[in-house]
Amino acid sequence: MQVTAAAPDRPAVFREPGALLYAGNCQDLLDASLAGKVTLSAWTRRGYPGQPLGDALPQVCSVGGWDAAAPQDWGLKLHCNEGVKIAYLARGSLALTLDGQRHEIQEGQMFVVRPWQLHAFGDPNVVASQIVWVLFDMGTRRPHDPWLWPDWLAWPERDQQRLTEFLSRNEQPFYQASREVTRDFEQIADVVATGDIESGEIRLRLTISMMLMHFMEQIEAQAPVLDQALAHSKRTVQIFLNRLAHALDEGWTLENMAAECNLSRTQFTQHCLALTNITPVRYLQMMRLDAARRMLVEQRNVAVTAVAYECGFSSSQYFATCFKRRFGISPVDARRQVLVAAE
């Protein structure tokens, strides 16, 4: 099997350019595969490691899996995917951290990861395990975006909508796989292992369609409680605000913050007011000032001007004015107080 020698930067989870968070490219998995530590068998596109799909299987970013015969010295760090990953653990165990919560996936279980969910594999490293997955690009990056299933599934619209509801309004992280789902994933792995995309595409289309049908039947049998709030635009804004602290140096405006969330300025402002009780611009400034204050205390070797720029202020003078208005003291004096207290 051929693997790409390097994986490029991924498109944005929200939007590009100036995106808050970028999807991961599984570089650690690629490196481990090239080093012979793990067997990687995958058909992929868009820089994910594996054998290039070309025009085959539209809307599939990656299909296949890894087989780690022994404990590894790598794990996949926190990242997001470009699509919806539906995966099955064929052997061993796997530590999955999903939106800050740790789960131990066991052999015979399957799990789902959505594009907006930060997740990592390993604790911190991956143990001996075999995993098979299908990563679909549904055209969705945010909880409130519409889902578009591949045309080649040939499912009735009502069934596509039902599966979308189960996966977007219910975020149970893992399920026990039925015998039918297990068999489907085993067949997916077998087809990908041949390395013959031209001959294997039609078999994969049929097998993936069957896997999704069996998976939907399995979920439906559990009669899950669906939460409409999980797929609401307000949740998109909450995720954006939660991650904003990691991108304070971006040139944020009301317009591009709203665009990040695929909302109008009015919608975005209304959700922000409901969540924080202040306007988006004011919330951003408060986060920047709080971050600057922490940096002044914790990183005493960083110049005040550098702190200002790092936290997104356009000039040190404007930073000093805002800082004093908020805390009643200048940035220089705030740092001096810390130094005096440490003596």
Q: Which pLDDT value is given to residue 12?
A: 43
**Segment 57-83, tens digit of pLDDT:** 999 999 999 999 999 999 998 888 889
Distance CA 99, CA 95 (A): 13
143 sits in which H/E element: none
Residue among 10, 93, 16, 88 nearest 44 (CA): 10
Q: Is the pLDDT of residue 14 over 50?
A: no
Lowest mean pLDDT among 4-8, 125-129, 172-176, 263-267: 4-8
Mean pLDDT (the chain) is: 91
- Single out the residue of 87, 96, 95, 85 nearest to residue 66, CA to CA: 87
Instruction: Tell me if 57 sits within 8 A of 204, measured CB to CB.
Output: yes
Q: What is the pLDDT of residue 21?
A: 59
Judged against a pLDDT cut of 80, whether residue 343 lies above it is answered with: no
Q: What is the pLDDT of residue 25?
A: 63
d(CA 216, CA 48): 27
Spatial contact of 287 and 248, defined as CB atoms under 8 Å apart: yes
Query: To the nearest whole percent, how much of the chain has pLDDT over 90?
Result: 78
Please state the pTM of the whole predicted model.
Answer: 0.89
**Residue 260's pLDDT band (boundaries 50, 70, 90)?**
confident
Measure the CA–CA gap between 293 and 329, rounded to whole angstroms.
11
Displacement of CA 297 from its chain's centroid (Å): 32
DSSP states along 63-100: EEEEEESS--S--EEEEB-SSEEEEEEEEEEEEEEETT
Average pLDDT over residues 23-28: 77
Nearest one of 99, 234, 223, 104 to 165, comparing CA atoms? 223
pLDDT, tens digit, 9 for 90 and up, residues 121-177: 999 999 999 999 999 999 888 999 999 999 999 899 999 999 999 999 999 999 999
User: Which pLDDT value is given to residue 47?
Assistant: 83
